């Protein structure tokens, strides 16, 4: 496998703070290629052999804006370690239509391919969300996700709105309200 050429913006790049615009259909060939490359890149980043070969950080999700393109598109690649398979999710013009009251957070902290440093603190996320979006062919769909996938989807949706996960962490009290949420 050859690593797709993707340039991921660093947190210092002001473009990450842009609010992404809705996408119209049909998608261009370039958009379809970008989506395919993003999925391939994330999959390779989760396979140890390629991670070492190409010096990659493991990533689960990537939004268009992280490549400097302000379009409302993100992808998530979820590894099923037991089955040794990957589930690909492509969401275009996504909207959260419902969420659980229960809040969760990643115990070891969230990470981001645009933030190349350790960050202390927790990010409150909904345990379950329902999202309406469009697929690569412009077909509408609804998906309900929970736990890690819910966190990944919310993280990527934040990117589409110019928000980084570090914005959710209270700098004075990085573990604020942890006792009111469930750690995963």
Q: Per the structure, how many domains does the chain have? A: 1
Q: What pLDDT score does 83 carry? A: 77
CATH code for the domain of 108: 3.90.45.10
Query: pTM above the 0.75 mark?
Result: yes
Pick out the chain residues at pLDDT < 50. Answer: none
CB 140 within 8 A of CB 91: no
Q: Domain containing 33: what range?
A: 14-183
- Residues catalogued as catalytic: 156
pLDDT at residue 61, as a whole number:
98
Query: In the prediction, which pLDDT does 84 show?
Result: 79
Amino acid 81: pLDDT: 79
Q: So what's the pLDDT on residue 30?
A: 97
CB 134 within 8 A of CB 93: yes
- Residue 68 C-beta-side C-alpha neighbours within 13 Å: 7
Q: Is 2 a domain residue?
A: no
Q: Residue 85 burial by CB count (10 A; 0-12/13-18/19+): exposed, middle or buried?
A: exposed
Question: Does residue 1 form part of some domain?
Answer: no
Distance CA 16, CA 114 (A): 9
């Amino acid at each position: 496998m050859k690593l797709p050429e993707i340039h991921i913006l660093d947190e210092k790049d002001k473009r990450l703070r842009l609010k992404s615009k809705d996408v119209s259909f049909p998608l261009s060939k370039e958009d379809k290629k970008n989506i395919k490359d993003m999925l391939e890149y994330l999959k390779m980043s989760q396979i140890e052999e390629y991670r070492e070969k190409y010096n990659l950080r493991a990533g689960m999700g990537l939004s268009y804006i992280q490549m400097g393109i302000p379009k409302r598109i993100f992808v998530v690649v979820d590894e099923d370690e037991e089955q040794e398979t990957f589930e690909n999710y492509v969401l275009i013009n996504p909207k959260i239509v419902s969420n659980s009251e229960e809040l969760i957070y990643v115990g070891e902290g969230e990470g981001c391919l645009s933030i190349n440093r350790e960050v202390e603190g927790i990010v409150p996320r909904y345990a379950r969300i329902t999202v309406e979006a469009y697929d690569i062919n412009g077909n509408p769909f609804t998906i309900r996700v929970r736990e890690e996938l819910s966190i990944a989807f919310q993280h990527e949706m934040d990117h589409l709105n110019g928000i980084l996960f570090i914005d959710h962490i209270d700098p004075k009290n990085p573990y604020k309200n942890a006792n009111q949420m469930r750690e995963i």
